[in-house]
């Protein structure tokens, strides 16, 4: 049987970072095919290649056995490939009809609107969706918007349907409903690709599964002949040996979080009743599937986002709920953000500026009237050496030119030279190679030995398991369970998946 | 049937623009983002852009009836050989320096102050009010006029500043529209309470001698000296103080700046207030040094010039001063072209715009690497 969609030897890199390396993929008509992998494994990149959004540097795309060259989403549509992106591509103030029309142009406007409206109603009835074609997108719920996206690509004639993490934004009930619809579409002869990192969906709703890791497809399995344990092993890979933790008795709680609530930018409550504490000299790891409130938790702890309710207490300073980032830093909080070029570094400014900004208010680099450039350069040179930041050709070089690992080391240098009392590290090794990753872990363990209280929040379960003294699993905005150090991987994984 | 669709897709004409891994492909031209560029090459590209801009401007002037030989005369020979002309240029430079530095300070923290003219109007009104109501002794009159002008400019920028910091209202719209409010209030005064009783023209009564900024000899006005002092002050502020250090972060990555403890609100506040005060001082120096009274059009064109100067100077106050002097040359030459060739003053603004567009376009070449694809 000829595969409906087949990708061979696809390679794609972004500014030196290789996202896809010789990736393979194939999906047949009539099946729901899961594409499974951790964050950053290359799932979305691969599907963006199939949807014509990314031009691969190497590799071939076959549709029904014929090689095609996609120069844009329009070509993909012509090949009857349709993709529903994680971030919906809908114009919010426009109506459903207008949005569908935008993607499926009909020769004349007014007749086109009527025609599309009829087609939307017909398609919606077939799928069992209830959608008023004349309602505006911003009046619709997230699940309804997703249905509009699906109708949009189906009306464009898609027979190869790619859904990128479709259930990440849905409630359990909505997710089951969507996946049932998806099964029906496959039964009707479409090839459906379901990009996901939820193991439960793979085993319950798909026919075959391709597992990706580090930009490659590592396995193609029959979904019914596998289980969660095998899929986890394939998606995560064999674990790298990590630095040993020396055992030492922890001290008093340094950071105490009680019943914290915080919202995402869109007003959605994502941190809901989170409570935990971190003691001096210990690493408290927070494991969990990304998007369960981790980002907002970090933002609340570093003062970037004011919490809705609950309290944050820091030893010796008392209640610090809702304090500004400046104040929290003065109290001894340091942060390694997950998005290092977004929140950790000002790419257009020099290495010196990026190092010194963290402690210039302490007066070490001259008074506020006169900053002392040579003191700044000396301190930076020393820190760059001590923290082994490589790739610094000149101290005045723009920080954006550093690789991810070296940018991370620069951030750690800035944050750790202040001897912080509490360190909040969010996915500190994301996207780093093995060596840089080990260097980051070594720094965290050194800070732990120095008596700092470290909160490690990571999507990478191994990172959490290897480094933490205690582990909390975050699902749906709260700590669903806690484990003591050596924690059973399977047990932690079960809480992550079953509550998610 | 499906096969037909597929082959149709592959045989479609190559699109004019095509997205590639790092940029856009335009026909056979490949564009990629640059990581780094040497300062020399940047200077060369900038110089080429200026030459292109000036070339287009010259062509327009010639098309408007200026003899090619006269162009060189008007812009170079006349301006720099005749001390009278040199004097007018330096005289003209003072308010341009103020607005240029004002815009530079605001733009450094990405506060898009398009209300320079409104702040100038308020600076002029406040200074004139001190004269009109005889506030303070004659010795302190000028400093008081200056102080009131600066405070009025700050007060006028507080509204958009507060709306932006508190409610995230776009300051571009607010500052721009407030210009009209300020202008209509100015007309209200000039056609009403402040109408000059001597000639019934819509301008304020003449300032007295001690209310006018004096000439210091050698063709230098005290307005220029004030402008240089404030430029030096601003230059020091942005280049050497901790505040200036923070403005770089607010400009480059404000999310990161916030997370790392930069007092973004305070830095934005101080920059914007300074900007408002400097714009208002431009209004003050025109009223107190050039016109000697409040007129109804003294601010015209300065808002745009201020933005242009800050843009060309890359928001550096010292560079803004240099660019302001060059724009003054354009202003003064434009006036003489107006007199001798009946060329409208709009031509001067057109030339400014052409130069800005050329330089802005050259920035594209600095950010992208362009090469032919074989």
| pLDDT at site A244 | 62
Same domain, A149 and A56: yes
Does B261 contact A370 at a Cβ distance shorter than 8 Å?
A: no
Residue B15 banded pLDDT, cuts 50, 70, 90 = very low
| Chain A residues lying within 8 Å of B256, measured CB to CB | 342-346
Q: What CATH number is given to the structural domain containing A91?
A: 3.40.50.300
pLDDT at residue B239 is higher than 90 = yes
**Domain for residue A244, yes or no?**
no
Least confident of A412-416, B279-283, B331-335: B331-335
d(C-alpha A387, C-alpha A354), whole Å: 14
Least confident of A307-321, B24-38, B266-280: B24-38
Query: Measured in Å, how far apart are chain A's first and last C-alpha atoms?
Result: 37
Kindly tell me the burial class for residue B108, based on how many C-beta atoms sit within 10 Å of its own C-beta (0-12, 13-18, 19 or more). Answer: buried
Residue B113 banded pLDDT, cuts 50, 70, 90 = very high
Interface test with B, best of A5, A58, A330, A357 (most B CBs within 10 A): A357
**Domain for residue B319, yes or no?**
no
Report the number of distinct structural domains present in chain B.
Answer: 1
d(C-alpha B279, C-alpha B99), whole Å: 5
| pLDDT at site B14 | 37
Whether the Cβ atoms of residue A408 and residue A336 lie closer than 8 Å to each other = yes
Give the model confidence (pLDDT) of B127-161 as tens digits. 999 999 999 899 999 999 999 999 999 999 999 99
B22 contacts chain A (CB < 8 A): yes
Axis-axis angle for helices B264-285, B302-312 (nearest 10) = 130
A329 contacts chain B (CB < 8 A): yes
The stretch B326-354 carries a mean pLDDT of 84
Same domain, A183 and A57: yes
Assign A304 to helix, strand or coil: coil
| pLDDT at site B295 | 93
Residue A88 phi/psi, 5° resolution? -65, 140
Same domain, A171 and A49: yes
Alpha-carbon distance values, A238 to A23, A126, A469, B189, B307 (Å): 19, 45, 22, 80, 58
Helices (H), chain B: 2-10, 39-63, 68-72, 78-81, 83-108, 116-132, 138-167, 171-190, 222-240, 242-252, 254-259, 264-285, 302-312, 317-341, 346-367
Assign A147 to helix, strand or coil: helix
In percent, how much of chain B has pLDDT > 70? 89
Whether the Cβ atoms of residue B187 and residue B296 lie closer than 8 Å to each other = yes
Closest CA to A17 of A1, A39, A40: A40
| pLDDT at site B371 | 63
**Domain for residue A414, yes or no?**
no
Residue B305 phi/psi, 5° resolution? -60, -40
pLDDT at residue B16 is higher than 60 = no
pLDDT at residue B27 is higher than 50 = no
Same domain, A205 and A328: no
Which of A326, A370, A398 is opposite residue B263, by nearest beta carbon? A326
**Domain for residue B92, yes or no?**
no
Residue B188 phi/psi, 5° resolution? -55, -45
d(C-alpha B317, C-alpha B106), whole Å: 11
Kindly tell me the burial class for residue B82, based on how many C-beta atoms sit within 10 Å of its own C-beta (0-12, 13-18, 19 or more). Answer: exposed
- Measured over the CA atoms of residue A414, residue A419, residue A422 and residue A425, the dihedral's sign is positive
Residue with tokens 């790419």: A347
Q: How many residues comprise chain B?
A: 374
A247 contacts chain B (CB < 8 A): no
Kindly tell me the burial class for residue B33, based on how many C-beta atoms sit within 10 Å of its own C-beta (0-12, 13-18, 19 or more). Answer: exposed
Residue A264 phi/psi, 5° resolution? -80, 170
Residue B9 banded pLDDT, cuts 50, 70, 90 = very low
Closest CA to B145 of B233, B231, B223, B229: B223
Tell me which chain B residue has its CA closest to the CA of residue A397: B36
Whether the Cβ atoms of residue A172 and residue A498 lie closer than 8 Å to each other = no
d(C-alpha A55, C-alpha A50), whole Å: 9
Does A349 contact B248 at a Cβ distance shorter than 8 Å?
A: yes
Same domain, A190 and A229: yes
Looking from the CA of A377 toward its CB, the CA atoms found within 13 Å total 7
Same domain, A261 and A160: no
**Domain for residue B331, yes or no?**
no
**Domain for residue B269, yes or no?**
yes
d(C-alpha A27, C-alpha A12), whole Å: 20
Assign B124 to helix, strand or coil: helix
**Domain for residue A243, yes or no?**
no
Same domain, A179 and A193: yes
Same domain, A464 and A436: yes
**Domain for residue A64, yes or no?**
yes
Same domain, A451 and A487: yes
d(C-alpha A182, C-alpha A202), whole Å: 13
d(C-alpha A476, C-alpha A271), whole Å: 7
Spans in chain A with pLDDT lower than 70: 14-17, 39-40, 171, 237-246, 431, 433-434, 498-500
d(C-alpha B91, C-alpha B289), whole Å: 9
B170 contacts chain A (CB < 8 A): no
Whether the Cβ atoms of residue A76 and residue A52 lie closer than 8 Å to each other = yes
What is the token pair recorded at A379?
Answer: 């301190």
**Domain for residue A313, yes or no?**
yes
Range of A379's domain? 347-401
How near does any CA of chain B get to the CA of A101, in Å?
Answer: 21
Other C-beta atoms lying within 10 Å of the C-beta of residue B370: 13
| Chain A residues lying within 8 Å of B243, measured CB to CB | 368
Same domain, A330 and A352: no
What is the token pair recorded at A151?
Answer: 């109708």
For B219, left (φ over 0), alpha (ψ -120 to 50), or beta? left
Residues 336-365 (B) with a CB less than 8 A from some CB of A? none
Which of B241, B252, B255 is opposite residue A368, by nearest beta carbon? B241
Q: Label residues B203-233 b or e (16+ Cβ within 10 Å = b).
A: bbbebeeebbbeeeeeeebbbbebbeebbee
* Cα A215-A160-A136 angle, rounded to 5 deg: 100
| pLDDT at site B225 | 94
d(C-alpha B261, C-alpha A334), whole Å: 10
Residues 6+ apart with CB under 8 A from A77: A103, A156, A157, A158
Which residues are bridge partners to A136 per DSSP?
A: A95
Question: Strand A453-457 to strand A470-475: parallel, antiparallel, or no bridges (unpaired)?
Answer: unpaired
Same domain, A309 and A171: no
Other C-beta atoms lying within 10 Å of the C-beta of residue A124: 20
B10 contacts chain A (CB < 8 A): yes
**Domain for residue A410, yes or no?**
no
Residues 247-276 (B) with a CB less than 8 A from some CB of A? 248-249, 252-253, 255-263
**Domain for residue A192, yes or no?**
yes
What is the token pair recorded at A38?
Answer: 């951790």
Question: Cα-atom radius of gyration of chain B, to the nearest Å?
Answer: 24
Interface test with B, best of A70, A346, A370, A417 (most B CBs within 10 A): A346
Please write down the long-range contacts of B36-43, taking CB distance under 8 Å and 24 or more positions apart: B36/A398, B36/A401, B37/B366, B42/B366
Question: Cα-atom radius of gyration of chain A, to the nearest Å?
Answer: 25
Axis-axis angle for helices B346-367, B39-63 (nearest 10) = 150
**Domain for residue B83, yes or no?**
no
d(C-alpha A477, C-alpha A265), whole Å: 15
**Domain for residue B189, yes or no?**
yes
**Domain for residue A241, yes or no?**
no
- Measured over the CA atoms of residue A110, residue A116, residue A121 and residue A122, the dihedral's sign is positive
Range of B175's domain? 98-302
**Residue after which a domain boundary falls, among A337, A371, A401:** A401
d(C-alpha A185, C-alpha A4), whole Å: 14
Residues 6+ apart with CB under 8 A from A51: A70, A73, A76, A81, A82, A83, A162
d(C-alpha B279, C-alpha A300), whole Å: 39
d(C-alpha B158, C-alpha A238), whole Å: 59
Same domain, A290 and A217: no
A337 contacts chain B (CB < 8 A): yes
């Amino acid at each position: 049987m000829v595969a409906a969609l087949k990708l061979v030897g696809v390679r794609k890199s972004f500014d030196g970072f290789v996202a896809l390396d010789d990736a393979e993929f194939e999906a047949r008509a009539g099946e729901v095919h899961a594409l499974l992998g951790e964050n950053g494994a290359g799932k979305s990149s691969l599907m963006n290649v199939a949807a014509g959004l990314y031009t691969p540097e190497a590799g071939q795309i076959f549709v029904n056995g014929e090689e095609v060259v996609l120069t844009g989403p329009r070509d993909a549509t012509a090949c009857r490939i349709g993709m529903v992106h994680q971030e919906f591509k809908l114009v919010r103030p426009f109506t459903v009809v207008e949005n569908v029309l935008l993607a499926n142009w009909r020769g004349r406007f007014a007749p086109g609107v009527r025609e599309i409206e009829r087609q939307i109603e017909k398609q919606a009835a077939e799928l069992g969706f209830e959608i008023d074609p004349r309602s505006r997108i911003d009046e619709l719920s997230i699940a309804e918007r997703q249905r509009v996206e699906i109708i949009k690509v189906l009306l464009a004639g898609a027979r190869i349907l790619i859904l990128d993490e479709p259930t990440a934004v849905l409630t359990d009930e909505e997710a089951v409903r969507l996946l049932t619809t998806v099964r029906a579409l496959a039964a009707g002869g479409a090839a459906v690709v379901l990009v996901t990192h939820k193991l439960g969906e793979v085993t319950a709703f798909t026919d075959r599964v391709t597992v990706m890791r580090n930009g490659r497809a590592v396995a193609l399995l029959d979904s019914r002949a596998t289980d969660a344990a095998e899929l986890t092993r394939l998606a995560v890979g064999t674990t790298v040996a990590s630095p040993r933790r020396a055992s030492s008795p922890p001290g008093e709680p340094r950071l105490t979080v009680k019943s914290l609530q915080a919202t995402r930018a869109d007003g959605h409550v994502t941190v809901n009743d989170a409570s935990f504490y971190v003691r001096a000299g210990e690493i408290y790891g927070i494991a969990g599937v990304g998007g369960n409130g981790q980002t907002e938790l970090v933002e609340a702890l570093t003062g970037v986002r004011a919490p809705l309710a609950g309290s944050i207490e820091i030893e010796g300073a008392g209640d610090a709920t809702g304090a500004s980032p400046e104040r929290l830093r003065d109290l001894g909080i340091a942060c390694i953000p997950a998005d290092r070029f977004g929140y950790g570094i000002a790419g257009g400014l020099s290495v010196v500026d990026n190092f010194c900004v963290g402690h210039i208010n302490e007066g070490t680099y001259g008074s506020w009237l006169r900053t002392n450039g040579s003191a700044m350069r000396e301190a930076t040179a020393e820190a760059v050496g001590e923290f082994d930041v490589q790739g610094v050709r000149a101290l005045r070089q723009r920080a954006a030119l550093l690789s991810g690992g070296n940018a991370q080391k620069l951030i750690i240098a800035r944050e750790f030279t202040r001897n912080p009392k509490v360190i909040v590290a969010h996915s500190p090794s994301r996207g780093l190679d093995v060596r840089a990753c080990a260097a980051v872990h070594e720094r965290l363990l050194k800070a732990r030995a120095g008596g700092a209280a470290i909160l490690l929040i990571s999507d990478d379960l191994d990172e959490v398991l290897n480094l933490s003294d205690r582990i909390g699993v975050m699902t749906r905005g709260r700590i669903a369970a806690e484990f003591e150090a050596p924690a059973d991987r399977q047990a932690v994984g079960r809480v992550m998946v079953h509550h998610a | 049937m499906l096969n037909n669709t597929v082959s149709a897709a592959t045989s479609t004409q190559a699109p004019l623009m095509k997205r590639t891994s790092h940029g856009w492909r335009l026909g056979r031209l490949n564009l990629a983002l640059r990581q780094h560029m040497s300062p020399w090459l940047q200077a060369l590209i900038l110089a080429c852009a200026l030459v292109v801009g000036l070339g287009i401007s010259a062509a327009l002037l010639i098309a408007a009836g200026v003899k090619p030989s006269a162009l060189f005369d008007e812009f170079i020979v006349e301006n720099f050989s005749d001390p009278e002309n040199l004097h007018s240029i330096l005289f003209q430079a003072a308010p341009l320096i103020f607005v240029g530095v004002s815009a530079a300070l605001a733009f450094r923290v990405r506060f898009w102050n398009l209300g320079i003219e409104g702040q100038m109007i308020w600076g002029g009104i406040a200074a004139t009010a001190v004269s009109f109501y005889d506030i303070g002794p004659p010795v302190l009159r000028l400093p008081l006029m200056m102080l009131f002008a600066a405070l009025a400019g700050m007060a006028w920028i507080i509204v958009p500043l507060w709306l932006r910091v508190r409610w995230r209202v776009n300051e571009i719209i607010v500052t721009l529209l407030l210009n009209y409010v300020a202008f209509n209030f100015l007309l209200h005064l000039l056609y009403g309470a402040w109408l000059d009783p001597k000639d019934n023209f819509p301008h304020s009564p003449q300032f007295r001698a001690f209310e006018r900024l004096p000439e210091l000899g050698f063709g230098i006005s005290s307005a220029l000296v004030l402008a240089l002092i404030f430029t030096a002050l601003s230059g020091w502020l942005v280049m050497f103080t901790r505040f200036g250090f923070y403005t770089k972060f607010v400009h480059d990555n404000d999310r990161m700046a916030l997370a790392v403890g930069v007092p973004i609100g305070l830095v934005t506040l101080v920059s914007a207030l300074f900007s408002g005060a400097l714009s208002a001082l431009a209004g003050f120096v025109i009223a107190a040094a050039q016109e000697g009274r409040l007129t109804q059009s003294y601010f015209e064109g300065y808002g745009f010039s201020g933005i242009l100067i800050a843009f060309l100077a890359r928001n550096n106050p010292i560079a803004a001063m240099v660019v302001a002097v060059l724009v003054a040359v354009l202003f003064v030459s434009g006036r003489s072209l107006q007199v001798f060739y009946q060329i409208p003053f709009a031509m001067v603004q057109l030339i400014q715009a052409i130069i800005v567009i050329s330089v802005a376009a050259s920035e594209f070449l600095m950010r992208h690497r362009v090469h032919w694809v074989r």
